[in-house]
Amino acid sequence: MELIIVKGDITKIPVDIIVNAANSSLLGGGGVDGAIHRAGGPAILAECLEIRARQGECKTGDAVITTAGRLPANKVIHTVGPVWIGGQNEEEEKLKNCYKKSLQIADDYGAKVISFPCISTGIYRFPKRLAAELSLEVIKSYKCRILEKIIFVCFDEESYDIYHNLLDS
């Protein structure tokens, strides 16, 4: 499996599945979540509303899949990362679950290429280096059945440098 790190806008990269760092409401918000909802259009929100009607909000560490609307992808996996409160609330395990569940859904869907943002490192304040270490740990240990390429899309230079340094070491 190929692992690629890029700096850019996750809504512009053609893939089978884009992972969204969603909030539990699934209704869009700021950061990556808002960007994905804006770029993808109302079809994403409509499916999120259907999911909420069936199951309620999405729990931290869990994930659901919807259409990608106008995005250059087939589907969006919405996963809810943990808010960092000092590491005392199982934040590391919850973040790892975001990646595990997203990979499982992507494999089940038959995706070959998936893109991930840096989950929980924005307004949820998860330490960027720790988040990168955990995401790479999960991805390197996951036994993909179908996935061929995973793209980490870093919005800022600091995250991009962290991922590159971790992969180079």
Active-site residue list: 33
Nearest Cα neighbor of 104 from 19, 13, 164 is 19
Q: CA-to-CA distance for 100 and 87, rounded, in angstroms?
A: 19
Residue 29 CA to residue 32 CA, distance in Å, equals 8
Residue that the structure tokens 């790892």 belong to? 96
d(C-alpha 135, C-alpha 130), whole Å: 9
Distance CA 106, CA 65 (A): 9
CA–CA distance, 134 with 148 (Å, rounded to integer): 20
The closest alpha carbon to 13, from 156, 150, 166, 161, belongs to 150
Type of residue numbered 92: E
Burial class (CB in 10 A: 0-12, 13-18, 19+), 25: middle
